[in-house]
Structure 1
Amino acid sequence: MPRDTDPLAGGPRDAPDTPCERPDPHRAGPPAPRPASPTRTGAAPLPAPHPERAGPPDPSEPAALRATAPLTSPPAGGAPRGYRAVFAVREFRAVFAAHLLSLLGVVVSELALTVLVYELTASPLLSALTFALGMLPYLVGGTLFSGIADRYPARRVLVTCDLICAGCVAVMVLPGTPVAALLVLRCLVAAVSPVFTGTRMAALADILGEDDLYVLGRSLLRIVSQGALLAGFGVGGLLLAVVSPRGAITITVATFLGSAALLRLGTRDRPARAGGGQGGTLLRESLSGARLVLGNRRIRALLLLFWLPPAFVVAPEALAAPYADEIGAGTVALGLLMCAMPVGQIAAELYAGAVLSPRVRSLIVLPVAAVGLLPFLLYGVSPGIVPIAVALVLAGAGSAYIIGLDQWFVEAVPDELRGRAMTLLTAGLMTLQGAGMALAGLAAEFFPVHQVVAGAGALGTLCLLLLVAEVRRTAPAHHIRTEVRDGEDQHMASG
């Protein structure tokens, strides 16, 4: 399904928290419900979080699926650890494979559709608009349709979104489809994207639990997202060298259908989070969920920590071609600039997930977020391609803070609001990235490119310092603590 473009340390993509009691997998008896977050001044009241919904395996599920229960704590003894433990969960493997298929489909279809529109119209504006339409509808879809993520069972939502995208792409392939219809279909796919992504993010907490496996699962999906962006455009370019744009788009129909099949057959059918709706309309549920999420001071601060860095980090990406032209560099240098930040993000994400303990990942959230945009200041002296590429790799490495922030967010949001909160997170993330690109381009009309990027780094750092202070102020009363059981470093929880 649609691309999950998660933050860099700026790419996109805390402080003391209250520990929450987690069920001990070795202790008999039902898990204790998670305590509600303490009320703070200026925070809208949120529904009390539900107890953990793991429960016994569903006897109607295939035996292979029943055999794999969600893992809610780090494995002990000789069991797999880290990323290997995530892949040991059968349902996650299905989600991961579906994510990879749909990502490649989205990237290839974006590239092929842009080329197709240019061939039909010979208009650079319409061709660029085709690509931009992949971001613009996120705000509408993520705000007006976010209630879907909690109102209906997650598996049904995910499969339906994939089928809608497959249908839209199939119509694009038809020879008689006019350009206006191609753009409308592109908008529809983009409007579905935040619903799909938010629902999948929320469903991961059911599949992997809310502890370290969830954090590592999200990390893997982010790594695949960045890798697919690098590989997808290359694959799309090779496809367009041997087939027509419509032919390349046709292939993406199969990727969406494959994703739908994997999700339908490889994941359990869990009940809706909101119990099938609260009697109101979908629009009312979506807007009320957005008000509850944004009205809570703590959750709002965490959302902004996801959103703000991407709004600034896109500046060097949006202006890579003008910067290369400004310093007289060629296409090879341009490719290096475009790849540097994703490479830094992938490396940092892998290191943080595989080497750092959950406690350390939480401790570095605020410091790393605060300094993640400082490498952009190097643009101010315009030193050339190699130093700038190093600066971009370092900026990408700043994404290491996201892996700890994921844990804070999933534990701060009540279970029945989680789908809407995740959908809103995705919508805001993509919308602010689009706005950041537009503002960077506008500024470059009046100032040299290197000054614009350096200015984005300085202004972004100032905004993040203020935001970090707000996150600290909204943190629950108690510090994060790490519980040590049986000599193992266990995951701590934050409120």
Structure 2
Amino acid sequence: MTTYTSVLRDDTFRVLFGTRTLSILADTLRIVALSLLVYAATDSPALAALAYGIGFLPQLIGASVLGALADRIRPRRLIVLGYLAEAAVAVVLAAVPLPVWAALLLVAAAALLTPVFMGAQNALIADALTGDAYVLGRSLAGVASSLAQLLGLAAAGVAVATIGGRNAMFLAALGHLIAAAWTRLSLPEASVVRPVRGGIAAASWRGNAVLVRDRTVRRLLLVQWLPPAFITGAEALMVPFAAQRGFAPGVAGWLLAAIPVGMVAGNLVVGRLLAPPRRERLVPSLIALMGLPCLVFALPGGPSWPILAAALVVVGFGFAYALGVQAAFRDALPAEGRGQAFGLLSTGLMTAQGLLPAVAGLLAESMRPALVIALLGAATLLTALTARTARTAWTARTAASGSGLAVHGGRGSGSSWGA
């Protein structure tokens, strides 16, 4: 029986798990410190918000023109370079008194590389863990990511208050440097999947086009992109919602913390206690579980904030739907382009989660935040219906392969679900 302990015995996964968790801590610290420094320098909430999210949208460009690098450079070297680049950005931000525009441009430039080394990391995990071990590995990574973000947010506030924003940035750089050294010394080397043929930008465009034209891969991408994006848009309105409802100061923080708590619980319960076939069958229901509680925000009179926080914990629990999709996504990919495919997946997640808060904010200018939150919940419910329909397509595809495995040659777990 596969367990979290057995997954952590794999040398490759253990190193990638530890270094990525450390990197998330360091990155959260850097993002918060930069946002606070920008606000202190400009007194502009808009610029502070831009500093917080400046690393999202450039990833779309990075995946478009550099994504093929994930399959053309030795993964260990690529991952080390990614962490060193993050460390260098933090050092420059801490040591050099840059104008705000230059600081934001520097962070955006570094974000171009994120899809490349994230794609290499995820491809290595897909190669190292087979069967249900892969899903449990992703579950464990999801729990660690949520906890690291919560801890990073708390640590950032303490660090900025005690040692100052620039010293906090140096601390973030140290975290990335440790992750780079840990990777270089402990991660087993792996070979390049295929040699360079033609320009990187052209190869990246071709690879992305091949992935998006594949109907099953496209559906799997969309079902992993859209529900988190809609919920992120709803999260972005918690502060104005709490203010409009007249809740006490600090309630917005409790509402924002509720979803990560639910995410941790969902990953543990669904990843550890449910068998793979049941996880896959529950995907549409878990997506619906993300959207349905958002509707209570628009109820006449409005529930009390503890009830709303409990509803958001349920929303977070629903994020575990991804555990029923990940094996199907891995199995649907061409073996020679996994790194680029995983980079495209993470890029779409970041881009969608960067755009939806802006869209939600614009909608909230002309209607109540509570109503916008409910509309985003309804949009999530629609994706649940789409996921249910798409499952039939993936079942037919795996049946046509004659073995229940991917027709592209990826390692299979007997998955019968797709989106």
Query: Into which bin does the TM-score normalised by the smaller protein fall?
Result: over 0.9
CA contact (8 A) 1:82 1:353 kept: no
- Cα–Cα, structure 1 residues 481 and 378, in superposed 2: closer, same or farther, change >3 Å? farther
Render the CA deviation track for 1:270-310: whole Å, top value 9, x for unaligned: 1112x222x21100111111001000001101111101102
Rounded to whole Å, the distance in 2 between the matches of 1:335 and 1:145 is: 37
Is the 2:284–2:385 contact (alpha carbons within 8 Å) kept by the matching residues of 1?
no
| Structure 1 range deviating more: 465-474 or 420-429 | 465-474
Matched residue, 1:380: 298
Matched residue, 1:356: 274
Counterparts of 1:491 and 1:285, CA distance in 2: 29
The amino acid that maps onto 2:230 is: F
Q: Does 1:204 align with 2:140?
A: no
Q: Identify the match of residue 6 of structure 2 among 76, 85, 93.
A: 85
State the Cα deviation string for residues 115-145 of structure 1 (Å, max 9, x = none).
1222333333322221121212121112221
Indicate the residue corresponding to 2:231 in structure 1: 313
Query: How far off its partner does 1:341 sit?
Result: 0.8
Q: Percent identity?
A: 35
Q: Per-residue displacement from partner, 1:324-376 (whole Å, max 9, x unpaired)?
A: 11111123321210011111111010111221112222221233224431111
> Which structure has greater helix proportion?
2
The answer (yes or no) to whether the contact 1:407–1:494 under 8 Å persists in 2 is no
**Structure 1 residue 478 displacement after superposition:** 5.4
1:236 match: 156
For 1:455, give the aligned amino acid: L
**Corresponding residue of 1:177:** 98
Q: What's the counterpart of residue 392 of structure 1?
A: 312
Map of 2:409 onto structure 1: none
Which residue, out of 236, 247, 252, partners 2:167?
247
Given the alignment of the two structures, is residue 327 of structure 1 paired with residue 245 of structure 2, yes or no? Answer: yes
Aligned match of 2:38:
117
Figure out how many residues of one structure are paired with residues of the other and give that number.
407
**Higher Cα Rg: structure 1 or 2?**
1
Match of 1:269 among 189, 193, 197: 189
| 1:492 matched residue in structure 2 | 414
Q: 1:121 to 1:410 in 2, by over 3 A?
A: same
CA displacement, residues 230-283 of structure 1 (integer Å, 9 cap, x when unaligned): 11111011111111211000011111111111111111111112x222x21100
Deviations along 1:411-461, one digit per CA (max 9) or x if unpaired, are 110111111111111111111111111111111111111111111112331
Higher RCO (Cα < 8 Å, 6 or more apart): 1
SS of aligned partner of 1:342: helix
| Residue pair 1:327, 1:384 contacting (<8 A) in 2 also | no
Per the alignment, residue 60 of structure 2 pairs with 139
Matched, 1:413 2:336: no
Q: CA deviation at 1:402?
A: 0.7
**Residue number among 417, 424, 431 corresponding to 2:351 in the alignment:** 431
Separation in 1 of the partners of 2:386 and 2:267?
25
2:103 is aligned with 1:103: no
Contact 1:301-1:471 at 8 Å conserved across structures:
no
Distance 1:144 1:160, change over 3 A: same
2:375 equivalent to 1:460: no
Please state how far the C-alpha of 1:474 moved relative to its aligned partner: 4.5
Question: 1:33-56, CA deviations, whole angstroms, 9 ceiling, x for partnerless residues?
Answer: xxxxxxxxxxxxxxxxxxxxxxxx
TM-score, with structure 2 as normaliser: 0.92
Which residue matches 2:263? 345
**Secondary structure at the residue paired with 2:219?**
helix
| Whole-Å separation in 1 of the counterparts to 2:42 and 2:287 | 43
- State the AA in 2 paired with 1:130: A
Instruction: Tell me how large the CA RMSD over aligned residues is.
Output: 2.1
Q: C-alpha distance in 2, partners of 1:207/1:459?
A: 36
The answer to whether the 8 A contact 1:201-1:218 is kept is no
- Does residue 292 (structure 1) correspond to residue 214 (structure 2)? The answer is no
Give the AA of the match of 2:61: V
Contact 2:395–2:416 (8 Å) recurs in 1: no
The 3 A distance-change label for structure 1 pair 346 and 120 is same
Separation in 2, partners of 1:449, 1:144:
37
Determine if contact 1:314/1:437 at 8 Å carries over to the other structure: yes
Aligned to 2:324: 404
What is the rounded CA distance, in whole Å, between the counterparts of 2:358 and 2:109 in structure 1?
22
Name the CA shift for 1:353/1:466 in 2 (closer, same or farther; >3 Å).
closer
Map of 2:362 onto structure 1: 442
Deviates more, 1:214-223 or 1:419-428: 214-223
The runs of 5 or more residues in structure 2 that have no matched partner are 406-411
Shift, 1:471, TM fit = 4.0
Write the distance in 2 (CA, Å) between the matches of 1:457 and 1:481. Answer: 37
Amino acid at match of 2:152: G
Q: Provide the secondary structure at the position in 1 that maps to 2:246.
A: coil
**Counterparts of 2:347 and 2:228, CA distance in 1:** 12
Per mean C-alpha deviation after superposition, the further-off stretch among 440-449 and 119-128 is 119-128
When residues 130 and 335 of structure 1 are mapped into structure 2, their CA distance, relative to the original with a 3 A threshold, is: same
* TM-score normalised by length of structure 1: 0.78
Q: How far 1:91 moved relative to its partner?
A: 2.4
Deviation at 1:219, TM superposition (A): 1.4
Q: Which runs of 5+ in 1 are unaligned?
A: 1-73, 75-80, 484-489
